[in-house]
Amino acid sequence: MTVKARIERIGEFVDQEVVLEGWLWNKRSSGKIAFLNFRDGSGFIQCVVVKQDVPEELFDLAKGLSQESSIRVTGIVRKEERSQIGYELTVTNIEVVSRTEDYPITPKEHGVDFLLDHRHLWIRSPRQRAILKIRAEVIKGMRAFFDENGFTQVDPPILTPSSAEGTTNMFETEYVNGENAYLSQSGQLYMEAAAMALGRVYSFGPTFRAEKSKTRKHMNEFWMIEPEMAYVEHKENLQIQEALVKYTIKHILDHCPTELKVLERDTAPLERVVAEKFPIITYAEAVKILQEKGHDFPYGEDFGAPHETELTNHFDLPVFVEKWPANIKAFYMQPDPENPDVILGADLLAPEGYGEIVGGSERIHDYELMKERFAQENFDDSYNWYLELRQYGSVPHSGFGIGLERTIAWICGIDHIRETIMIPRTLYRLYP
Ligand code: 4AD
Ligand code: MG
């Protein structure tokens, strides 16, 4: 009996007859030979049908197949140096599972709106498949880092009674008992509770922000990994972030060479990230650099995309910008004892123009100071539990959030984060 094989492990079947189950991606043919570019989800392989070696019906069938027809292809696996994967298939039989006519996404160029309207089909393309594959590996790599370093995964709630990152961008819904509920903007506040129970924890889940931003870096639904660590202070927080980013990039360089090739990603800048120490500058130093480069940028404002790009081009490596003015950052950030107007937190800016991928800080652990912040923020009872964390066994602790899609866009070297998730949720799009 012929064995079933998958393209990703085709090298185990050289000179054997196998059956591959998948779809026709595209095809070239002449009077004597047909080349089927076939995909099975695990990869792409060229299948060769030689007229003089097969029954006439089989050659005619192969020549007549249209793009995205689903087929089972039987053939002998051959080593082939010229192939990107190193193998091709000499076809002995084809079984048509279903025929496809007029597949909308042809090899010609399509506009991005057309592609996004057909996102459910677009993900079959080699580039999109490569990105989704890298996404899965980024998640695997990050989990491996945390699991190897003593972190426990904890899942905070998605439906919440209050805001974690400011009230201006919350998706609101009515809870079953009639109360207002909001989709989570960040699991952080709950992860702080988890850190006091388990020491080092991380969450990995969807995040919702109803912001009306139409940029290459914003989505309304994205995924965030949020570690939180008891007895870790600001400096060590940055060391852990740097180690995580290096580990993740190395994991992708090791596990996704084919996908990076499909994306034509220059890997030299990524190799630099693994090898070199990330610079750390203060917000005040960053402002100075911007002003020296001719930006009319006042101390005390948040960076826009051109400022982030300028800063990362200046260093050509991921750069930490630490000690931001307290009044433009979140209420929970620990003030710097040397200058309480700035906080012990940092953003990590990715190079090559990708900008902020991580936001993190040491958290206020002093009960009285947190009570003051609560008063300034006019918090209601729904935050009482968070204040109690400072009443019972409070310790210095820190954490951060790394945006999955922004990290993937950077690793893949692609223009827009909407391609880093299967079905993107952006300002004007809730379809498909
Ligand atoms: O900087 P942010 O808002 O930080 C927090 O939510 C903290 N509570 C995290 C923590 O300390 N536990 O978001 C963290 C990261 C950003 O650096 C960015 O990578 C990503 O989440 N992010 C977005 N990604 C895509 N679309 C958006 N609209 C995003 N907003 C933030
Ligand atoms: Mg941020």
What does 347-398 look like in DSSP terms, one character per residue?
Answer: EEEETTTTEEEEEEEEEP--HHHHHHHHHHHT--GGGHHHHHTTTSS---EE
User: Distance from the CA of 400 to the center of ligand 2, in angstroms?
Assistant: 10
Residues 266 and 359 in one domain: yes
Question: What integer is the mean pLDDT of 349-377?
Answer: 97
Question: What integer is the mean pLDDT of 203-211?
Answer: 97
Residues 133 and 53 in one domain: no
> Which residue's CA lies nearest to atom 29 of ligand 1?
218
Query: Ligand 1 in contact with 403 (CB < 6 A)?
Result: yes
End-of-domain residue from the set 98, 133, 162: 98
pLDDT tens digits along 287-321: 999 999 999 999 999 999 999 999 989 999 999 99
The CATH number of whichever domain residue 26 belongs to comes to 2.40.50.140
Query: Ligand 1 in contact with 241 (CB < 6 A)?
Result: no
Range of the structural domain that residue 267 is part of? 119-420
Is a pLDDT exceeding 80 seen at residue 121? yes
User: Distance from the CA of 203 to the center of ligand 1, in angstroms?
Assistant: 13
pLDDT of residue 108: 85
Residues 415 and 360 in one domain: yes
Residues 156 and 293 in one domain: yes
The CATH number of whichever domain residue 202 belongs to comes to 3.30.930.10
Q: Are strands 87-98 and 44-50 parallel, antiparallel or unpaired?
A: parallel
Residues 51 and 178 in one domain: no
Residues 180 and 86 in one domain: no
pLDDT of residue 156: 98
192 belongs to a structural domain: yes
Q: What does the alpha-carbon distance between residue 300 and residue 283 come to, in Å, rounded to a whole number?
A: 9
- Ligand 1 atom closest to residue 213's alpha carbon, by position in its atom list: 28
Question: What integer is the mean pLDDT of 260-287?
Answer: 98
User: Distance from the CA of 269 to the center of ligand 2, in angstroms?
Assistant: 24
User: Distance from the CA of 132 to the center of ligand 1, in angstroms?
Assistant: 21
Residues 246 and 363 in one domain: yes
Owner of token pair 């599972």: 97
Is a pLDDT exceeding 80 seen at residue 250? yes
Residues 151 and 11 in one domain: no
Is a pLDDT exceeding 90 seen at residue 92? yes
Is a pLDDT exceeding 80 seen at residue 1? no
Question: pTM for the complete prediction?
Answer: 0.97
pLDDT tens digits along 391-425: 999 999 999 999 999 999 999 999 999 999 999 99
pLDDT band at 154 (very low <50, low <70, confident <90, very high): very high
User: Distance from the CA of 62 to the center of ligand 2, in angstroms?
Assistant: 53
User: Distance from the CA of 162 to the center of ligand 2, in angstroms?
Assistant: 19
Query: Ligand 1 in contact with 226 (CB < 6 A)?
Result: yes
> Which residue's CA lies nearest to atom 4 of ligand 1?
359
Query: Ligand 1 in contact with 224 (CB < 6 A)?
Result: yes
Residues 318 and 273 in one domain: yes
pLDDT of residue 78: 98
CB 57 within 8 A of CB 84: no
Query: Ligand 1 in contact with 399 (CB < 6 A)?
Result: yes
9 belongs to a structural domain: yes
Considering every ligand atom, which ligand is closest to the CA of 333?
A: 1
Residues 18 and 159 in one domain: no
Considering every ligand atom, which ligand is closest to the CA of 356?
A: 1
Residue 251, classed as helix, strand or coil, is helix
pLDDT band at 282 (very low <50, low <70, confident <90, very high): very high
Q: Are strands 397-403 and 355-363 parallel, antiparallel or unpaired?
A: antiparallel
pLDDT of residue 330: 97
Q: How many domains does the chain have?
A: 2
Query: Ligand 1 in contact with 229 (CB < 6 A)?
Result: no
User: Distance from the CA of 390 to the center of ligand 2, in angstroms?
Assistant: 24
pLDDT band at 431 (very low <50, low <70, confident <90, very high): very high
User: Distance from the CA of 332 to the center of ligand 2, in angstroms?
Assistant: 13
Residues 129 and 93 in one domain: no
- Ligand 1 atom closest to residue 407's alpha carbon, by position in its atom list: 19
pLDDT of residue 263: 98
Considering every ligand atom, which ligand is closest to the CA of 245?
A: 1
Assign 3-state DSSP to the chain and report helix, strand, coil percentages, each to 5: 35, 30, 35
Residues 252 and 366 in one domain: yes
- Ligand 1 atom closest to residue 403's alpha carbon, by position in its atom list: 19
pLDDT band at 84 (very low <50, low <70, confident <90, very high): confident
274 exposed, middle or buried (CB, 10 Å; 0-12, 13-18, 19+)?
middle
